[in-house]
């Protein structure tokens, strides 16, 4: 006969870390928050990309002005930089629709 100390142990229930995550098709509680953070980062990217494209276009125009001894190419570079910023704005906006 077995004493209570010698009885076989039951396996412990699985811990949360041991349980597999939910399948990819189901939504978890964190998903809406993650989506909001991703959208916020996409729009924050525009706050950096739009002015950076404008300044880089202007700098290229100024560089061309000095190299070619002209005085008007900085305006062309500025307009090209602004256009590049708008293209990125449209790409980001259409990606999030």
Please tell me the distance from the alpha carbon of residue 32 to that of residue 26, in angstroms, as a whole number.
Answer: 12
Q: Residue 64: inside a domain, yes or no?
A: yes
Taking 90 as the threshold, does the pLDDT of residue 44 lie above it?
Answer: no
Number of domains in the chain: 1
Q: Residue 2: inside a domain, yes or no?
A: no
Q: Residue 94: inside a domain, yes or no?
A: yes
Q: Residue 38: inside a domain, yes or no?
A: no
* Mean pLDDT for the chain overall: 80
Tokens, residue 74: 């900085």
Full domain range(s) for residue 86 = 45-97
**How many other C-beta atoms can be found within 10 angstroms of the C-beta atom of residue 55?**
14
Q: Residue 16: inside a domain, yes or no?
A: no
pLDDT of residue 39: 80
């Amino acid at each position: 006969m077995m004493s209570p100390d010698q009885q076989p142990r039951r396996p412990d229930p699985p811990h949360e870390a041991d349980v597999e995550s939910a399948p990819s098709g189901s939504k978890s509680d964190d998903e809406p928050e993650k989506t909001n953070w991703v959208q916020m980062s996409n729009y924050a990217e525009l706050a950096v990309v739009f002015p950076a494209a404008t300044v880089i276009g202007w700098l290229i125009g100024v560089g061309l002005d000095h190299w070619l001894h002209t005085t008007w190419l900085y305006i062309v570079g500025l307009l090209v930089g602004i256009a590049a910023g708008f293209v990125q704005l449209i790409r980001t906006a259409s990606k999030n629709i």
